[in-house]
Structure 1
């Protein structure tokens, strides 16, 4: 009986896979009849490059013409080009190969437990160790986009991405996935075959990374040298996987290669020492040698590995057969919904995302001049998600959602059972790169798409974080009202026009590299840069409801959510997420709006009354030579005094700061910073002095929404009183204001 059920389940799985990836024969035949076989596609082996045209509206991108400005939703911060380190990697030249050191020591990566783009991070991490300590990288084997295995070694246990034992014949050389000549130009590298010849098929040390903190006694690594394998390791050493990379020393690395101080492996008994020293890394992760699961120091910003472009030929041939010349593509990573921290609580949470994807696909078909039943390409791993496929409730939501998408849009997918699933993913990736527009949800794969083809238009209907699909808001037939928010952004460089939300515009300043979209001020401080943007905004011909200062390395995950909170509560000043400073004993983590005392400068919103008719702005820059942190401290103090209980924090809106580059004055000396404020700005005799709270962290629940007419104007008499005071502080502030309002 058990065997019958297994056979029945296998038949059901085959039928479901056929339906999802191919569709009924009649639908596929009709789709193929729509393909214009004579229309030109990009040359095989090249990506289509989408040229931007002059005068494109803020936030628009890509393959459109001036008389066909199709709507594109705002780009998420994680996909901004200036925050992606490897933009243009597909067309970077191949450097000459790096020579091997005089006495080479070789490193093999045996398994990494990471897939696709995250697998690349693990390779980059090990490459950083190789580069730092003068080692040689041995090109590893790959299967299912995992770095894994040495031919003849045993797979003792299977990670969630794999199904059972992996025969050696399924292991592919690294060159099938990655552009090896390109990587060999960035670090010393040899092929596995070359290493076999140099080492007499003998590895000095198998270095097992210990993640369970039990001296490697919790179990064997994923891959282990088996009896009879041609490649063997003489000894096993245990090493803490969390050992900090910054604490590695040449002596520690030398010890990895030293023979005689590890546990001898019986599988290699009788073998002589190898002619060259080597170490095989077992149980490698993207967070190896780091303090946390998302450790990035070894791989962030590295661009030494890129995917093999030979699969673009397969992608182009597929598109020529089954898609129109300018086609719409969809990218859906179903596995994200199955992760325990993002699992939906209802079907509606999933369905709304798929409904918006379907609406967006139909929208772009129309704007590209196609009929509604024109084939649309979809890249996805469904119906075989890599993990948690037995969370039946979520799988049922996804099944219904994918079925609805197939009913709404004629889907064409690329599958090939003769290929490793990782190779299929690479072909899908290249089909995405050649699309006219890609519809999907913000995720790490689309970060790669942006870096390989920066001008490809992306229409992101939602975000990866929490699976929120609130970013698809095409304009109604009558057009949109003027935007209500202006973002003021300082950046080292900015490679594109940013539209942070559908209801906003942007002014920007760059201080590192010139940008055609921003003012270039290479010698500004943080304070003078913000004041420059403040003056530029003051001089604009129209006003906005809120002005939002934001640094370029800030990830505001839900700009629409932040804007909605501003319109709901109408605060004088507000900060989202981690920009809120909480008191140490604060426990109310579920209240959306709080009246706060202090807040980080990474992202601050100012009501138009405060922006124009208050004394919080401009920032005072008199202490910039001492510390750049003082100007924000003074803005907090002035908010206490002139807008008490009107500064809000919205703690439920995720906000992160991804980069803190450069050297600048960073002193936190409160007495020294307070002195000019207390002596020159609000002296002891000032009647408002009692309102000054100092640097105190306060968070008080605010449950009442405010009317849309709430105002924060300071009386003209108050402005005149302070701006006419004869102190260095107020003379400086008055000078900046006069320049702005002249």
Structure 2
């Protein structure tokens, strides 16, 4: 009996020694390998572990303007990360906003097209996958759309919310799941009515009309100053064509939204409660590339089996006439097609066929 107790005690001592040695070895290993990470590595690790579903991609000359850094816009670290390309001078200030990633490349950001392509490539190569990639210009202000354009209950819902209109847009994206989505946009004064409304109904627009729009409506034309693209669509839409970048920036925009329309018709929706004010207008070559030219170039990238689809010929004919707004600026009260169901999987060319009851 005594020898048994001695044997048991010996085994316990051995196990205790082994455990102690293991603990000491682990401590030494940690002390040896726990070297301080570079700031960039620490930040990269945080981004990779983040569950945030939105990445904003913005070009600016040096640093983002203060109005965009407020919490209602891009200053809310809990909802999104922000990737910023500084294309004239490197941004060196630190406002303790670790969800902002600044990159600098004067060569890659010389044009609107090359800059956005550089942002997109950097995000795909160095950051985690986000649910939505939101490309935007650096000169935007964000407003709730004028009440005369929205349904009364929608106005109350938006105005009574305790979150900003941009956060409401993010919530809309997760609920509605569009392939692409954009707000309304105004050009020259915050007091103007949305350009998308004024232009959609040539000859029939009345400033006093009550529109009673629901939260989402179909769209074809959107302004590229602010566009959200789902992860299942972004690789089909990006990169932006650079063929027109030194000839006609509008040509690049026409290509961008028409390619999106052909590939994701019925899965593109406008978020009506939000309006962005595009307040700065630079001078650049514009309006020399026509829509028929753009469509011809899109067809070169379209699978052979789809090139004879009526949607392309219809668009060429409709956009060759003088008042192209009647074709690309959808009247939200009389949409030419219905949106796809919310849970409909996003896929390119899915709705390339136009049905008999659809005009576009």
* Aligned mates of 1:594, 1:665 — CA distance in 2: 32
Equivalent residue number for residue 664 of structure 1: 284
Equivalent residue number for residue 581 of structure 1: 196
Equivalent residue number for residue 307 of structure 2: 687
Equivalent residue number for residue 104 of structure 2: 520
- Residues 420-476 of structure 1 show CA distances to partners (whole Å, capped at 9, x for unaligned) of xxxxxxxxxxxxxxxxxxxxxxxxxxxxxxxxxxxxxxxxxxxxxxxxxxxxxxxxx
- Which of 507, 512, 516 is matched with 2:83 structurally? 507
Contact persistence 1:678–1:684 (CA under 8 A): no
* Aligned mates of 2:339, 2:302 — CA distance in 1: 32
Aligned positions, number? 237
Cα displacement (A) at 1:698: 1.3
* Aligned mates of 2:331, 2:281 — CA distance in 1: 26
RMSD of the alignment, in Å? 3.5
Equivalent residue number for residue 599 of structure 1: 222
Alignment map for 1:56-455 (pairs within 5 Å): none
TM-score, normalised to structure 2, is 0.57
- Which of 631, 644, 664 is matched with 2:265 structurally? 644
Cα displacement (A) at 1:560: 0.3
Equivalent residue number for residue 346 of structure 2: 712
- Which of 604, 607, 611 is matched with 2:234 structurally? 611
Cα displacement (A) at 1:544: 1.0
Equivalent residue number for residue 43 of structure 1: none
Contact persistence 1:602–1:657 (CA under 8 A): yes
SS at match of 1:654: strand
* Aligned mates of 1:537, 1:565 — CA distance in 2: 23
* Aligned mates of 2:306, 2:287 — CA distance in 1: 28
* Aligned mates of 2:224, 2:132 — CA distance in 1: 16
Equivalent residue number for residue 570 of structure 1: 177
- Residues 101-155 of structure 1 show CA distances to partners (whole Å, capped at 9, x for unaligned) of xxxxxxxxxxxxxxxxxxxxxxxxxxxxxxxxxxxxxxxxxxxxxxxxxxxxxxx
More helix by share: 2
Equivalent residue number for residue 697 of structure 1: 329
Cα displacement (A) at 1:556: 2.9
Equivalent residue number for residue 297 of structure 2: 677
Cα displacement (A) at 1:697: 1.5
* Aligned mates of 2:295, 2:347 — CA distance in 1: 28
Cα displacement (A) at 1:605: 0.2
Equivalent residue number for residue 548 of structure 1: 134
* Aligned mates of 2:62, 2:344 — CA distance in 1: 37
Contact persistence 1:641–1:688 (CA under 8 A): no
* Aligned mates of 1:500, 1:549 — CA distance in 2: 16
Residues 540, 699 of structure 1: CA spacing in aligned structure 2 closer, same or farther, 3 A cutoff? farther
* Aligned mates of 1:609, 1:666 — CA distance in 2: 31
Q: Which runs of 5+ in 1 are unaligned?
A: 1-53, 59-479, 716-742
Task: Tell me whether 1:621 sits opposite 2:242 in the alignment.
Answer: yes
- Residues 686-725 of structure 1 show CA distances to partners (whole Å, capped at 9, x for unaligned) of 4364223355211446998955x5431349xxxxxxxxxx
* Aligned mates of 2:295, 2:171 — CA distance in 1: 38
Contact persistence 1:485–1:504 (CA under 8 A): yes
Residues 554, 578 of structure 1: CA spacing in aligned structure 2 closer, same or farther, 3 A cutoff? same
Task: Tell me whether 1:534 sits opposite 2:120 in the alignment.
Answer: yes
Cα displacement (A) at 1:680: 3.3
- Residues 221-272 of structure 1 show CA distances to partners (whole Å, capped at 9, x for unaligned) of xxxxxxxxxxxxxxxxxxxxxxxxxxxxxxxxxxxxxxxxxxxxxxxxxxxx
Equivalent residue number for residue 53 of structure 2: 484
Q: Which runs of 5+ in 2 are unaligned?
A: 1-38, 44-48, 93-100, 144-164, 187-194, 350-360
Cα displacement (A) at 1:607: 0.5
* Aligned mates of 1:683, 1:571 — CA distance in 2: 23
TM-score, normalised to structure 1, is 0.29
Cα displacement (A) at 1:618: 1.3
SS at match of 1:651: strand
SS at match of 2:196: coil
Cα displacement (A) at 1:660: 2.1
- Which of 274, 289, 305 is matched with 1:653 structurally? 274
* Aligned mates of 2:128, 2:299 — CA distance in 1: 37
Cα displacement (A) at 1:630: 1.4
* Aligned mates of 1:529, 1:630 — CA distance in 2: 16
* Aligned mates of 1:678, 1:543 — CA distance in 2: 27
Residues 678, 700 of structure 1: CA spacing in aligned structure 2 closer, same or farther, 3 A cutoff? same
* Aligned mates of 1:513, 1:667 — CA distance in 2: 30
* Aligned mates of 2:291, 2:267 — CA distance in 1: 26
Cα displacement (A) at 1:599: 0.7
* Aligned mates of 2:297, 2:345 — CA distance in 1: 27
* Aligned mates of 2:254, 2:242 — CA distance in 1: 11
Contact persistence 1:500–1:559 (CA under 8 A): no
Cα displacement (A) at 1:562: 1.1
